[in-house]
Amino acid sequence: MPHELAVFLGVKRSQADAILIALDSAGLCNMRLLIFHTCSEAHIGSIDFGVGFPSLPWKCSECDQIIEDYAEMSFDLMALVPEPVEFI
């Protein structure tokens, strides 16, 4: 998660986002956009980063509500790394 990278590297969250987006662009990780609904602290879905926001309406997997307004959603980034990254 970007906030963990920011803490680890001692940089701002926006800088950690930029690092991960650069790694994604280079094919070194796969960025996902995590989707949250106001009903839960757990994410309710994810889509590939870079394809925009999810199409509405979106059915919440936690409460089954049909979401028709982005104001009911929040988002975060997650980086999936296919192979362990080794810092030398």
Shorter beta-carbon distance to Zn ion: residue 32 or 37: 37
As measured in angstroms, the least distance from the Cβ of 67 to Zn ion is 7
Shorter beta-carbon distance to Zn ion: residue 20 or 60: 60
- Binding-site ranges for Zn ion (CB under 5 A): 37, 39, 60, 62-63
**How many alpha carbons fall within 13 Å on the CB side of residue 6?**
13
Rounded to whole angstroms, the Cα distance separating 48 from 59 reads 18
As measured in angstroms, the least distance from the Cβ of 47 to Zn ion is 16
